[in-house]
Amino acid sequence: MSTLEKPQVLGTSIIAKSKFFKVEAVDLLFSNGVKATYERLNGGNGAVMVIPFDGQNFILSKEYCVGTENYELGFVKGKIDDGETPEQSALRELGEEIGWGAKKITHLRTVNFAPGFMSLKLHLFLAEDLFVNKLTSGDEPEEISTQKFSKEEALDLVENENSPLSDARCVMGLHLALQRIK
């Protein structure tokens, strides 16, 4: 496979901004002389996703997702705040969103989330040795419900095409967690 030469970044500018996102225009010059402007969502400090496991069951959350306009099954997720490590963010989000803490937190993998138009890194964690740790400073507009799934049920969530777990990040994270706890 030949080595590709990355395009030269001629400049970047913010073309739109909301409470959560910055849209950047990136002016590029490719090695073949073609100039192009790409747009990307700036990923800030990155984000975390936490897969809680109580020794017997995975604890999944169910919260409203505006993208699908539905309540979706998934895991604790959130952005990394300024000054936080991914591990600190994972533990904070776990307490804020579903009221748990973890004595053991294992980094499973860091992945790019939609690298074609986002610069966001997502850090996946397995949380074990859980304890009650309800933090109240979260940003959720309603309490997030939880549901427990055994290892066998979790495997079905990963492998069943008709599974209620449809978020690709969650399917991948659960797959990695199942491999880790065998």
pLDDT (tens digit, 9 = 90+) per residue, 77-124? Answer: 999 999 999 999 999 999 999 999 999 999 999 999 788 888 889 999
Cα 99 to Cα 92, 93, 102, 127, 164, distances in angstroms: 10, 9, 10, 13, 23
**What is the predicted pLDDT for the residue at 91?**
97
**Which stretches of 18-120 are assigned E, i.e. beta strand?**
22-29, 35-41, 47-52, 57-65, 70-74, 76-79, 100-112
**What is the predicted pLDDT for the residue at 135?**
81
Q: With contact defined as beta carbons under 8 Å apart, do 46 and 123 qualify? A: yes
Q: What are phi and psi of 96, to 5 degrees?
A: -70, -45
- pLDDT, one tens digit per residue, over 42-65 is 878 899 999 999 999 999 999 998
**What is the predicted pLDDT for the residue at 1?**
60
Q: Identify which has the larger pLDDT, 113 or 4.
A: 4
To the nearest whole percent, how much of the chain has pLDDT over 70?
A: 96
For domain 47-180, give its CATH number from 3.40.50.1220, 3.40.930.10, 3.40.50.2300, 3.90.79.10: 3.90.79.10
**What is the predicted pLDDT for the residue at 138?**
64
**What is the predicted pLDDT for the residue at 127?**
98
To the nearest whole percent, how much of the chain has pLDDT over 90?
A: 77
Kindly tell me if the per-residue pLDDT of 125 is higher than 90: yes
**What is the predicted pLDDT for the residue at 117?**
87
Q: Which long-range contacts (CB under 8 A, 24 or more apart) does 8-17 make?
A: 10/35, 15/39
Q: How many residues does the chain have?
A: 182
Q: What average pLDDT does the segment 21-40 reach? A: 94
